[in-house]
Amino acid sequence: MLSLGWNVHGQNNPVTRDTTRRLAEVTVNAAAKKRIENDLKMTVSVDEYLASASNISFIKRGAYAWEPLLNNMSSERSTITIDGMHVFGACTDKMDPITSYVESNNLAAIDIKSGQEGNLHGATVAGSIDLKRRNTAFGLQKKIGGAYQTGFEFNNKQTFNLGNLYYSSDKFVADGSIAFRKAGNYYDGNDDEVRHSQYNKFNASLGLAYKTSPLSAVRVDAIFDRAKDVGFPALPMDLSLSRAIITSAAYKQLFEEGLVKVWDTKVYFNAVEHYMDDTTRPENLVHMDMPGWSTTYGLLSKINLQKDRYSSEIQVNAYDNLSIAEMRMYPQDRSKQTMFAYSWPWVTTRFASVAMNNALDLSDISRLVFGGSLGLNYNYSKYVEFNWIFHPGSPQKKNRFLPSLHASYQLNIGQFDFSLGTGFGHRAPSVSEAYGYYIYNSFDRYDYIGNPDLKNEVSYEANASAGFKTGKLSIGAKANYFFIQDYIIGRILSLGSPMNYQSVGVKGYTSLDHATLFNLALNAQYQILPGLDWKAVLTYARGQDNMGGNLPFIRPLSYQTSLHYRYKMIGVQTSMNGDFSQVNFSPEYGEDQTASYKIWNVSADYTFTIGKLNAVFQVGAENLFNEYYSTYADWGNIPRMGRNIFTSLKINF
Amino acid sequence: MRDLFIKKVVFYSAIISFLLIACTKEKTDYEAERGNTVAENTEFKEVTSLVSSGYSIRIEALGGVLYRGYNDIRVIINKQQNNEPVAVSSVKLLPVQTNVQGMKIVCPHQSEMDYTLDGRYFSGYSVFTDESSAAVNWSLEIDFTVGGQTFTATQHVTVKPQVNKNRNLTTFTGKDGEQYLIALIAPWKPTVSENKLVAGIYKLDAAQLSYTTVNGYTLQLDPRMPEPSMGNHSSPNNKDLVQQADGLYHGVVNYTMTGNWTLNFILVNQNGRVIAGTEVPKDFTPGVEGRKSELYIDILF
């Protein structure tokens, strides 16, 4: 049901004759539209949905806004985009990953690519996560349609109401969605309340498309997202308000003849503001204000080429981002002078790249996929004097070239398929890694200082997969190995002293000589009886630094298995997932050993009709046995949610 | 018709976008932030003027005010009748404090003033050790030489309390029994950055009742934020102050954020002997007010 990542076949063949004639959609997306739901729940948050992909794990600082890790690498190492648009969070503590600014009912699919195959939208090491928005096709038979979802989750008293609506005519399409979610504190497996874990989210989106000719269309899109009163139990602060406005205007032209099939161009603008708040934490010694802003302008333009056995996509990206984060501390005597510093001293990032990905069918059973990109990354720190305190004389401006190459060979023999690939790519340090200033990390309790002179991180990767498929059974294995030169990580500095009162010292971002990462995923699917399906995934990862020490945030051996049964209008599913004990943890980076855990979930749904409306009702329980646990990536070892009974109703019209 | 429709869509989208992107919280005006506690005082203005032996003498300081601590002083001498410039070959400055007992003490100063060609003035400095009061009187004695002839003029001046903590001074008795004075000279207006720290170090010559420059010492520096919530926070890459050719002591202080800072000092003589000051704890102690050296100066920006 979920086939995220590695689906190169589908992605490289985006143009079919049908779409050329009819221009069914503004965005041609050959990957079948997966509904945003996971094995267990039909109404999920974006985070819950992503969690069901085998190469995604999460750092969790609470119940909201989880930071997605792709191939066990932190979010600086992947490019996370919304329809190819770059959006950058405005929080120095990564409390607002991009995935927190969308909602499941305005997305159509999430496209995950591993390693350098994900270089289309920008330089990367881990790969790319592209959140694809919902685009209704022109000229649908049903002119007006939509869906409404509502539900209640008992553990944290979450209520949600999600609605989306479309209008489709031959010339004009409108898509709209609106979503409200409100949750209180959740309770862990010991039935203890986890304080400061509430959230409140509002998300709305609007897209309008107009067909300017039989083969061309324009589209404007906007997403507005607002979260307020969001608790972060693992952090010493909460979020009082974050807002994002994400806008774009696109023009698309299709061609019936010739090599070029599609030309798609988009300009975009987005602004994110993020205000942390510690007035909810009276126990804090210092009252602080930590507002952050991130503004991005960008452009992307893509053409798809196809001739005989060869297809290709060429994309140009450009963006300009300004990231600002402030830190103001108030002395206990409020009448006294406040203390002020920038944690992001007005850092501009300009990036431009050209990327090309090609697929060539060598024969009926084999295919070669290859590509490359070249990016230019420019940084400018307006108040560079902040950076000079730890790195005297470092340049205010910095240019970097970011090349990337990848190739893979795919072979399909009867019921077996194999692939073998390799890649090479650079990435530039993130704003925090290069220009961050006393950014408090509550995981290892250090203040982090960026280094503008960091070298590019250079990744060399190899990947392989093998699969076997029959009508009822499919099994597969995927593995990848990354050798990352000049791996960027925080190391204790012998100079300076902490600024945030909770911290124990100062760490500076430095480059390890190298680090290595290995990921393995095994999956199996079997149809036991008609209507009864079994699925299982086992993942293993290992990350080491150049001294053989463990890297932090590497997922221990973990598994997910589920059983689905469908009979007429009734569906029943049960799933179990867990991690084994974390053997290879890293005390040096603030980790302690996390014990194993096992979670059991069940749900049942019933599909019915009310008049002309099609509806599904679902009830289920997550963590059925109310296990008390926290995972290797839970910030500050905060316990996860205990038993959660959820109900939801979805009405399609 | 079609174009009109698109225009409409774009127009309304633009309006909606504009309404939504207006930020909730204003960004800090950092240029203003840095100037919050330090008044702009960058222009030399007249403090006082006098007439002596047919010459008019104009004494200038920043903002036209003399403060306790370090002051840059300019002297301009013209002919009295027509205010025309006159060829002055040298100007000597002597700031004198007279206390209530009638005792006269000369404060640290630059005696031989430098001539600046383009501004046609003589410049020097004086470190006033106290502000004027009923018990403390200040006068400036100016000796100037025109055509080989030396004239002397004396003018009473008022010294105001220091308003800029970055120009603070401290006086103390060293372990050698001598009476010392350390005056901060720069930065006048610090920034969150690496700042060049300049100070004057002087010793009272008890026989002459005059301060003289201390030569060849080292002023060890450990800057910290005293606020309890800052837990004795310090900064990296600071440099101790050592004497340079201008007679003043130069070092580097890094301020990691705005606010109150304490410059903890240890004064060491040529032979490595500690004259004054004590080591301060280096630990990070949130909630506890930072302990200060016996020799320190507080600043604020």
- Cβ atoms of B174 and B140 closer than 8 Å: no
User: Phi then psi for B30, rounded to 5 degrees?
Assistant: -70, -35
User: Phi then psi for A530, rounded to 5 degrees?
Assistant: -55, 125
Report d(CA A187, CA A48) in Å as an integer.
Answer: 18
* Shortest alpha-carbon distance between residue A340 and chain B (Å): 5
Q: Which positions ≥6 away from A489 have C-beta within 8 Å?
A: A509, A510, A511, A512, A515, A545, A551, A589
Report d(CA B276, CA A194) in Å as an integer.
Answer: 53
Q: What is the pLDDT of residue B269?
A: 93
* B1 band by pLDDT with thresholds 50, 70 and 90: very low
CB count, 10 Å around CB of B287? 12
* Closest residue of chain B to A212, computed from CA coordinates: B2
* Shortest alpha-carbon distance between residue B177 and chain A (Å): 35
- CA triplet B292, B298, B299: central angle to 5 degrees? 145
- Cβ atoms of A105 and A166 closer than 8 Å: no
Q: Which residues of B touch A438 (CB under 8 A)?
A: 256
> Which of B20, B239, B262 should one mutate to test binding to chain A, selecting the residue with the greatest count of A CBs within 10 A?
B20
Distances from the Cα of B136 to the Cαs of A597, B68, B102, in angstroms?
78, 12, 10
Indicate whether A20 pLDDT > 60. Answer: no
Report d(CA A598, CA A582) in Å as an integer.
Answer: 13
pTM assigned to the model: 0.88
Q: Which residues of B touch A389 (CB under 8 A)?
A: 192-194, 235-237, 254, 256
- Report, as an integer, the average pLDDT of A439-448: 87
Q: Which residues of B84-109 are buried (b: 16+ CB within 10 A; e: fewer)?
A: eebebeebbbbbbbeeeeeeebbbbb
- Cβ atoms of A535 and A39 closer than 8 Å: yes
pLDDT above 70 covers a percentage of chain B that reads 89
* Shortest alpha-carbon distance between residue A348 and chain B (Å): 16
CB count, 10 Å around CB of B211? 24
Indicate whether A479 pLDDT > 90. Answer: yes
Furthest-apart CA atoms within chain A: distance in Å: 78
Q: For CA atoms B186, B190, B192, B193, give the dihedral sign.
A: negative
C-alpha dihedral, B16 to B20 to B21 to B23, nearest 10°? 150
Least confident among A281-285, A393-397, B49-53, B91-95: A281-285
Chain-centroid distance, C-alpha B130: 15
- Report, as an integer, the average pLDDT of A461-488: 96
Structure tokens at A186: 């959740």
* Shortest alpha-carbon distance between residue B36 and chain A (Å): 9
Distances from the Cα of A597 to the Cαs of A14, A193, A504, A556, A639, in angstroms?
42, 20, 30, 11, 12
Q: What is the pLDDT of residue B218?
A: 96
- Report, as an integer, the average pLDDT of B31-60: 81
Say yes or no for a CB contact (<8 Å) between A222 and B16: yes
Chain-centroid distance, C-alpha B211: 18
| Burial class of residue B170 (count of CB atoms within 10 Å of its CB; 0-12, 13-18, 19+) | middle
Beta bridge partners of B171: B181
Say yes or no for a CB contact (<8 Å) between A389 and B230: no
* A277 band by pLDDT with thresholds 50, 70 and 90: confident
- Give the nearest partner residue to B254 out of A326, A389, A499, using CB atoms: A389
CB pairs under 8 A between A and B: 141
| A198: alpha, beta or left? (left if phi > 0; alpha if psi -120 to 50) | beta
- Give the nearest partner residue to A337 out of B9, B260, B287, using CB atoms: B260
* Shortest alpha-carbon distance between residue A4 and chain B (Å): 33
> Which of B4, B17, B166, B261 should one mutate to test binding to chain A, selecting the residue with the greatest count of A CBs within 10 A?
B17
Query: Which residue is listed with tokens 């000229």?
Result: A139
Nearest to B225 by CA among B187, B263, B277: B263
Query: What are the pLDDT digits (tens) for A91-143?
Result: 998 888 999 999 888 888 889 999 999 999 999 999 999 999 988 999 888 89
> Which of B19, B25, B282 should one mutate to test binding to chain A, selecting the residue with the greatest count of A CBs within 10 A?
B25
Say yes or no for a CB contact (<8 Å) between B237 and A247: no
Say yes or no for a CB contact (<8 Å) between B24 and A210: no
Query: Which residue is listed with tokens 């032996």?
Result: B53
Domains annotated on chain A, with CATH: 8-652 (2.40.170.20)
- Give the nearest partner residue to B257 out of A218, A340, A503, using CB atoms: A340
- Cβ atoms of A51 and A4 closer than 8 Å: no
Query: What are the pLDDT digits (tens) for A568-586?
Result: 899 999 999 999 999 999 9
* A34 band by pLDDT with thresholds 50, 70 and 90: very low
Question: What fold does the segment set B44-160 form as a domain?
Answer: Immunoglobulin-like (2.60.40)
Q: Which residues of A touch B288 (CB under 8 A)?
A: none
Q: What is the pLDDT of residue B23?
A: 63
Question: What is the enclosing helix (H) or strand (E) of B24?
Answer: none
* Closest residue of chain B to A323, computed from CA coordinates: B27
Query: What are the pLDDT digits (tens) for B130-180?
Result: 999 989 999 999 999 998 899 999 999 999 999 888 899 999 999 999 999
Say yes or no for a CB contact (<8 Å) between B258 and A501: no
- Report, as an integer, the average pLDDT of A295-301: 96
- Report, as an integer, the average pLDDT of A371-381: 96
Q: Which residues of A touch B13 (CB under 8 A)?
A: 208, 220, 222, 247, 249
Structure tokens at A81: 């985009």
* ipTM over 0.85 threshold: no
Say yes or no for a CB contact (<8 Å) between A496 and B284: no
Query: What are the pLDDT digits (tens) for B250-299?
Result: 999 999 998 889 999 999 999 999 999 999 998 888 888 889 999 999 99
Chain-centroid distance, C-alpha A523: 22
- Give the mean pLDDT of chain A: 89
Give all strands (DSSP E) within A546-596, no chain letters.
558-567, 570-579
Q: Which CATH architecture has domain B165-300?
A: Sandwich (2.60)
* B117 band by pLDDT with thresholds 50, 70 and 90: confident
DSSP label at residue A587: G
Report d(CA A484, CA A425) in Å as an integer.
Answer: 9
Q: What is the pLDDT of residue B18?
A: 55
Say yes or no for a CB contact (<8 Å) between B37 and A338: no
Q: Which residues of A touch B9 (CB under 8 A)?
A: 208, 210, 220
Nearest to A639 by CA among A647, A649, A628: A628
- Cβ atoms of A366 and A412 closer than 8 Å: yes
* Closest residue of chain A to B232, computed from CA coordinates: A497
Q: Where are the domains of chain B?
A: 44-160, 165-300
Q: What is the pLDDT of residue B118?
A: 75
Chain-centroid distance, C-alpha A542: 21
Report d(CA B97, CA B181) in Å as an integer.
Answer: 15
Report d(CA A437, CA A381) in Å as an integer.
Answer: 12
Indicate whether A441 pLDDT > 90. Answer: no
Q: Which residues of B touch A499 (CB under 8 A)?
A: 230, 233, 256-257
Say yes or no for a CB contact (<8 Å) between B28 and A340: yes
Say yes or no for a CB contact (<8 Å) between B20 and A392: no
Q: What is the pLDDT of residue A35?
A: 55
Nearest to A477 by CA among A43, A6, A10, A153: A6
Q: What is the pLDDT of residue A33?
A: 37
Query: Which residue is listed with tokens 């032979």?
Result: B271
Structure tokens at A229: 């009163």
| Cis check: omega of the bond before A14, within 30 degrees of 0 | no
Say yes or no for a CB contact (<8 Å) between B236 and A504: no
CB count, 10 Å around CB of B34? 17
Say yes or no for a CB contact (<8 Å) between A383 and B30: yes
Query: What are the pLDDT digits (tens) for A498-507?
Result: 888 888 889 9
- Report, as an integer, the average pLDDT of B43-72: 91
Report d(CA A84, CA A109) in Å as an integer.
Answer: 13
Indicate whether A218 pLDDT > 90. Answer: yes
- Report, as an integer, the average pLDDT of A430-450: 91
- Report, as an integer, the average pLDDT of B7-19: 58
Determine the 3-state secondary structure of A616 from DSSP.
Answer: strand
- Give the nearest partner residue to A339 out of B228, B257, B282, using CB atoms: B257
| Cα distance between the two ends of chain B | 62
Report d(CA A425, CA A385) in Å as an integer.
Answer: 31
* A5 band by pLDDT with thresholds 50, 70 and 90: very low
* B6 band by pLDDT with thresholds 50, 70 and 90: low
* B36 band by pLDDT with thresholds 50, 70 and 90: low
Indicate whether A233 pLDDT > 60. Answer: yes
Q: What is the pLDDT of residue B188?
A: 86
Edge-to-edge strand order for the sheet containing B55-62?
B44-52, B55-62, B69-79, B121-128, B114-116
* Shortest alpha-carbon distance between residue B184 and chain A (Å): 21
* CA-atom Rg of chain A in angstroms: 24
Say yes or no for a CB contact (<8 Å) between A339 and B258: yes
- Cβ atoms of A129 and A80 closer than 8 Å: yes
In this structure, are strands A127-133 and A78-82 parallel, antiparallel, or unpaired? Answer: parallel
- Report, as an integer, the average pLDDT of B118-141: 91
Least confident among A309-313, B41-45, B147-151: B41-45
- CA triplet A394, A400, A406: central angle to 5 degrees? 145
Give all strands (DSSP E) within A450-557, no chain letters.
457-469, 473-492, 505-529, 532-545
Structure tokens at A434: 């290069």
> Which of A340, A381, A390, A435 should one mutate to test binding to chain B, selecting the residue with the greatest count of B CBs within 10 A?
A340
Report d(CA A408, CA A424) in Å as an integer.
Answer: 12
Q: What is the pLDDT of residue B38?
A: 60
Say yes or no for a CB contact (<8 Å) between A498 and B231: yes
Query: What are the pLDDT digits (tens) for A159-205?
Result: 999 999 999 999 999 999 999 999 999 999 999 999 999 999 999 99
Indicate whether A7 pLDDT > 60. Answer: no
In this structure, are strands B69-79 and B121-128 parallel, antiparallel, or unpaired? Answer: antiparallel
DSSP helix, strand, coil percent of chain A (3-state; round to 5) = 5, 60, 35
User: Phi then psi for A432, rounded to 5 degrees?
Assistant: -65, -40
Alpha carbons within 13 angstroms on the beta-carbon side of residue A247 total 17
User: Phi then psi for B260, rounded to 5 degrees?
Assistant: -80, 130
